Structure 1
């Protein structure tokens, strides 16, 4: 344990010395802008199961500053923030495994009969997962608004096993998806076009889907291993 602690301290000093920010920390500029850590990198504080009143006992793991889906350890289910948000800029580093499928959902209402429903920033291995070829016009591929709006075809996706950064910006009805620093789609919630897209999607029986003023952030448990870190939010 002492050797591990010494190694962690050494890595932190190395990162700071060479201008690399340690995971799950805030820079001076981020603090000045009002950015907050949505996950502290060590505990389950601020999160619970989407259908539970506590954090799942199985299926999720915290190790070395990474929060991961571990299906081999039992079905854990989705997790949501204990706090709800309205206008925000959310950023999350994520890493997928081969044929992996997960998602980042927002404006989630855990009190609905299906507690995991929400607008979804799709996380997917587009090359090897069959879901990439389903839906319409690629609207189930990585960084898309799942089953509604496809992300730009020239989106900058890094290789499976490498870290990517998802960013979701929502202010009023205007919403944007960003991937690795590039905006890949935008839309207006509650617009006529938005409702038209709902009517053509798997949410067609939920006419008010995703229209609430506030909602929670959700990380999806989809039965595939996935990794998350640097979960940060800035109220707008």
Structure 2
């Protein structure tokens, strides 16, 4: 009888742990810490198209607890378009799961501001790169690997990263507090920098973001607040467990 009780308690504990980790849910502790879901796993509530007041009519789908973008021709934000959060954030901790298909390219941007005129490609913002490093050519562009998965796109390469194989879930995390920003990938800190610092501005000056259009409404990447963005780069990518808390 004692063994049965212990087995029952173990199963209950394991079930509780699994339930706490179910996609697109928050534990009691997370709610206490101020976490909020940005994606409920069932609807597109809280999201809209970039530079639009509506969610894209095509391309983005919600199914089986995932939000995904349909594959097209690999071009940046030219088919169905990026999506952004209704809300804007400054000091925050953002967590998201992503799963790539072979050769896929996407990104999660933050501090996104929709300045006029609308750019030809993706809305401007700092980007946590989401990429198949082995199969997508962008991994070999830029400098020193700063366009590989987990990197601050075109600025700082991710170091010490451990990305899971294509078709498996990865967990990204962005922490922004004051000027300090960190990228984490699968529990490892892979990028760390200070927004607006002399070093940051030097990196911008060596990147594609030095172009005038990126700085016409203030220095690139230094907006005081902005939206979170999921990128349509013409490849199929899946997201889930998108949650945020203000710091």
Same fold (TM over 0.5): yes
Is 1:181 the counterpart of 2:175 in the alignment?
no
**2: distance between equivalents of 1:184 and 1:190?**
19
Counterpart position of 1:233:
244
Structure 2, unaligned runs of 5 or more: 1-11, 73-77
Per mean C-alpha deviation after superposition, the further-off stretch among 106-115 and 120-129 is 106-115
Is 1:120 the counterpart of 2:118 in the alignment?
no
2:224 to 213, 219, 223: 213
**2: distance between equivalents of 1:176 and 1:123?**
15
SS of the aligned residue for 2:124 comes to: coil
Counterpart position of 1:170:
176
- 1:189-200 counterparts in 2 under 5 A? 189-200=195-206
Counterpart position of 1:7:
none
Per mean C-alpha deviation after superposition, the further-off stretch among 22-31 and 204-213 is 204-213
Q: Against the structure 1 CA distance between its residues 15 and 77, is the aligned structure 2 distance closer, same or farther, given a 3 Å change threshold?
A: farther
**2: distance between equivalents of 1:32 and 1:112?**
39
1:89 CA displacement: 0.2
8 Å CA contact retained: 1:58, 1:75: no
Counterpart position of 2:233:
222
Using the size of structure 1 for normalisation, the TM-score is: 0.90
**2: distance between equivalents of 1:190 and 1:110?**
19
2:114 to 107, 110, 133: 110
**2: distance between equivalents of 1:25 and 1:225?**
24
Over residues 133-180 of structure 1, what are the superposed CA-to-partner deviations in whole Å (9 max), with x where a residue is unaligned? Answer: 10000000000000000000x301100000000000000110000000
1:16 CA displacement: 7.4
1:37 CA displacement: 0.3
SS of the aligned residue for 1:71 comes to: coil
**1: distance between equivalents of 2:13 and 2:103?**
32
Counterpart position of 2:34:
34
1:29 CA displacement: 1.1
Over residues 200-219 of structure 1, what are the superposed CA-to-partner deviations in whole Å (9 max), with x where a residue is unaligned? Answer: 11010234011011000000
Q: Against the structure 1 CA distance between its residues 15 and 66, is the aligned structure 2 distance closer, same or farther, given a 3 Å change threshold?
A: farther
**1: distance between equivalents of 2:188 and 2:66?**
24
1:15 CA displacement: 11
Q: Against the structure 1 CA distance between its residues 148 and 163, is the aligned structure 2 distance closer, same or farther, given a 3 Å change threshold?
A: same
Using the size of structure 2 for normalisation, the TM-score is: 0.86
Q: Against the structure 1 CA distance between its residues 110 and 16, is the aligned structure 2 distance closer, same or farther, given a 3 Å change threshold?
A: farther
**2: distance between equivalents of 1:95 and 1:63?**
14
Counterpart position of 1:139:
146
8 Å CA contact retained: 1:15, 1:22: no
Counterpart position of 2:3:
none
Over residues 60-99 of structure 1, what are the superposed CA-to-partner deviations in whole Å (9 max), with x where a residue is unaligned? Answer: 0100110001135x93100000110000000000000000
Counterpart position of 2:52:
52
**2: distance between equivalents of 1:87 and 1:28?**
22
Counterpart position of 1:99:
103
